Amino acid sequence: MSKLHLVLLIHAHQPVGNFEFVFERNFQKSYLPFIECLERHPGVRIGVHYSGPLLEWLDATHPEYFSKLGEMAERGQIELVGGGFYEPILVSIPPQDQTEQIARLAAFLERHFGRRPRGAWLAERVWEPQLASTLASAGVDYTLVDDRHFLSAGFEPEQLFGHYVSEDRGLGVRVIPGLQSLRYLVPFREVADVIGFLRDASARHPGGMAAMGDDLEKFGAWPGTYDHCYTHGWLERFFAALESEAGWLETALPAECVASHPALGRADLPTASYTEMMEWVLPTEVRRRFHDLRERFASEPDVQRFLRGGFWRGFFTKYPESNLLNKKMMRAADNIERLRHRRRAPAAIAKLAEARTLVLSAQCNDAYWHGVFGGLYSPHLRTALWSALIRAETLTASVENRRNRKPRAARLDLDCDGAEEVLVEAPQFSALVKPSDGGTIAALDDRQSAVTLVNSMMRRPEAYHARLREVSTRHGGNVASIHDQTHAKEEGLEQRLRTDRWPRHAFRLLLFAPGKRYEDCDAIRLEENAALAGGVYAVEEAEAGRVKLAAETPFENGILRGRKQFEFGHAAGGFQVRCGVEISFSGSASLELEAGLELVLNFLAPDEPDRYFETPEGRRRLCWGGTVPATSLRIVDEWQGVGAQIEAPGARHIWVVPIETVSESEEGFERVYQGSQIVPVWPVHLDSETIWTAGVNLRICPAANDSVPASA
């Protein structure tokens, strides 16, 4: 009797910038017990993929585990599979870096385990047709994608029990379809259900192959799965069942199975990822409708296969914050590529090599998208990538040996949205001025401390916000998949939902009616003039350290005009940005208004005592919000070693509002601090003969460590 070959490809990853305790928790709950259980069942053979950041951590922190992987690979129980070292979405990075990412992980595995991988794990199983030649050129024999990729291309479900060749421009790679049915069964249904599925497949496809690729974290690290898999013994029973059914079922290493099974033909696959990803990427309202449609036709597979959803790159449209990070990475990578092909001194070559490694690390995928995990909404993950890119830019600039320490301004469309930005750079800082968004600063980097200062998230509706009022404890005999979990980490989160009018950038001009209070700012009830707050400003000047912008709009039977002038320069130990504002009105009446010049700064951990505001009432942790009866405010981040001094001469007061998103993570709905909205407020009187002026000076310099605690 011909056996069914079961190919299990299990993937483990931790993002660049994740907390040490998260690495350790996942190790204790998932990585260690899984391998220990597998070792007790030598008849079970699987492919495993560990991302580069996780492998480096395992080598440094748990060398005994690292050694165990080598022993199991040596005796043929596991196959160590390659991929991109820093787990990038390959299609989102430059071609030269695609090859380098794959080469670095292959070299690491060969150096530490004595064999070069034949296969490659695709991060989030994101496929585009050109990847066939990319992978083949990098020496990859095979990869695994989801059955959804094949079904969308017109394959029938019964054609997915083998592997195919996908080709691009004459170069081909073997592609294994991973079965969604198996992915949903393991480990969330009874072992007997899994064996029943495989037995049925064996009867229909004797000698065929059934494959599954999924996360190792679902075996212990996802909510509820540790007890299910280990305390209650699901994984032990599963591996034992695989061994006991050896008469008709054989677990096989992916490379061996691909080598022993001829390809079933060629497969020209469309752009795709797994089903959930292609739903998450859709715009919120479209995602709701798409989800409802999938639910309506859940029992009709012939309809489901054609409900494809979106396309991974759509996250760059859905989240401009992700797009800006990606384009900053692309620019840094291009600069390195431009410089490294010229003749250089050894020191310069070393700097460029270090810069390239930093850029490769900033290609780690997690902070570029959002689904059921925190991802883009996790400030520490975004910050880690920004910091790596800032350091890479600083190294690259030092290789170019720019002797002029004065700021330089360049006009370009950095984020590729069709609107021109002004990029101001100096050895101490870089700033991206966005005239198309109210003449704001979208990014502000302190190059001396490698800290990005704005780095916030616009609060926007997400499809899952509708479920906040439906949170309830699930009961039943089976453990819920992470995609089905519904849990809030604290009560009342639905009351904290906000929808911002504008992206969370710095130096936004808010002009509103008198009488507004802090509570109105917090609740987004200022009703500020839209044209001056978020409209398009004309660039009047962009040279060296000065950028001048102007906008106007009809208002109260007249014309309201706003001008901004940014001045960038050196400050003691750091740099400073001054934003001067002029407002004028040509109309028959006079106007009484109030103006705020909004800054957004994010120094991360809101509850830590070493990050705080200095106010007349004393120190306040970053989670604090309220009114500061002063014209200045200081923010200190002792952990990152940077401080910000804000001066707003003539301001009546300063509002400080914590920006908190409510997002979904693997642990449920949670509130996440995304920085603080800092708004100096002035009274404004305007008539046809008056030009109102004000300004804010932001000075960034090293923080002075101090032991006085900050209150909440």
- Known active-site residue 420: no
Q: In a 10 Å sphere around its CB, with 0-12 CB exposed, 13-18 middle and 19+ buried, how is residue 318 labelled?
A: buried
- 278 located within any domain: yes
Instruction: Band the pLDDT of 194: cuts 50, 70, 90.
Output: very high
Tokens of 458: 């616009």
**Contacts with 67 (C-beta within 8 Å, 6 or more apart), sequence order:** none
* DSSP helix/strand/coil, 365: helix
* DSSP helix/strand/coil, 29: helix
Instruction: Band the pLDDT of 706: cuts 50, 70, 90.
Output: very low
- Of 208-222, 339-353, 393-407, 431-445, minimum mean pLDDT range: 393-407
- 463 located within any domain: no
Residues 222 and 151 in one domain: yes
- Among 401, 433, 463, the domain boundary falls at 401
Q: What is the average pLDDT score of the chain?
A: 94
324 residue type, one letter: L
Angle between the 95-113 and 346-361 helix axes, to the nearest 10 degrees? 90
Instruction: Supply the pLDDT for residue 402.
Output: 64
- Of 158-162, 347-351, 479-483, 636-640, minimum mean pLDDT range: 479-483
Residues 193 and 161 in one domain: yes
Give 509-561 pLDDT, tens digit per residue.
999 999 999 999 999 999 999 999 999 999 999 998 999 999 999 999 899 99
Looking up residue 251, the CATH number of its domain turns out to be 3.20.110.20
Instruction: Supply the pLDDT for residue 82.
Output: 99
Give 448-503 pLDDT, tens digit per residue.
999 999 999 999 999 999 888 776 434 344 555 555 556 777 888 888 999 999 99
- Known active-site residue 215: yes
Instruction: Supply the pLDDT for residue 470.
Output: 76
- 457 located within any domain: no
Give 24-61 pLDDT, tens digit per residue.
999 999 999 999 999 999 999 999 999 999 999 999 99
Residues 656 and 610 in one domain: yes
Cα 49 from Cα 57, distance rounded (Å): 14
Give 600-630 pLDDT, tens digit per residue.
999 999 999 999 999 988 999 999 999 999 9
**Contacts with 317 (C-beta within 8 Å, 6 or more apart), sequence order:** 323
- Share of residues in the chain with pLDDT > 90 (%): 88
Integer CA distances (angstroms), 217 to 66, 228, 655, in order: 17, 13, 43
Structural domain of 389: 314-401
Instruction: Supply the pLDDT for residue 472.
Output: 40
Residues 691 and 593 in one domain: yes
Catalytic residue among 87, 97, 100, 124: 124
Residues 630 and 543 in one domain: yes
Terminal alpha carbon distance of the chain? 70
Arithmetic mean of pLDDT, 151-164: 97
- Of 87-96, 169-178, 400-409, 475-484, minimum mean pLDDT range: 475-484
Go through 413-448 and write b for each residue having 16 or more CB atoms within 10 A of its CB, e for each that does not: ebbebeeebbbbbbbbbbbbbbbbbbbbbbbbbbbb
Q: Which residue, 567, 566, 560, 565, is CA-closest to 583?
A: 560
Check: CB of residue 706 under 8 Å from CB of residue 638: yes
Residues 87 and 52 in one domain: yes
Instruction: Supply the pLDDT for residue 703.
Output: 87
Instruction: Supply the pLDDT for residue 492.
Output: 84
Arithmetic mean of pLDDT, 339-362: 94
Instruction: Supply the pLDDT for residue 41.
Output: 99
- 429 located within any domain: no
Q: Any idea what DSSP says for residue 711?
A: B
Instruction: Supply the pLDDT for residue 708.
Output: 45
Residues 224 and 247 in one domain: yes
- Among 401, 431, 460, the domain boundary falls at 401
Residues 137 and 251 in one domain: yes
Instruction: Supply the pLDDT for residue 481.
Output: 53
Cα 596 from Cα 508, distance rounded (Å): 8
- Among 311, 338, 366, the domain boundary falls at 311
Residues 195 and 257 in one domain: yes
* DSSP helix/strand/coil, 497: coil
Greater pLDDT, 476 or 265 = 265
Instruction: Supply the pLDDT for residue 646.
Output: 98
Residues 354 and 498 in one domain: no
Looking up residue 635, the CATH number of its domain turns out to be 2.70.98.10
Arithmetic mean of pLDDT, 219-229: 97
- 564 located within any domain: yes
The count of domains in the chain is: 4
The CA-CA-CA angle for residues 464, 467, 468, to 5°, reads 105
Instruction: Supply the pLDDT for residue 688.
Output: 87
Instruction: Supply the pLDDT for residue 467.
Output: 85
Instruction: Supply the pLDDT for residue 707.
Output: 42
Flag whether pLDDT at 335 surpasses 50: yes
Give 73-111 pLDDT, tens digit per residue.
999 999 999 999 999 999 999 999 999 999 999 999 999
The CA-CA-CA angle for residues 544, 548, 552, to 5°, reads 165
Q: Which residue, 282, 183, 53, 213, is CA-closest to 482?
A: 183
Residues 284 and 262 in one domain: no
Residues 619 and 695 in one domain: yes
Catalytic residue among 56, 59, 110, 215: 215
Q: Which residue, 579, 553, 555, is CA-closest to 567?
A: 579
Q: Which residue, 565, 441, 166, is CA-closest to 432?
A: 441
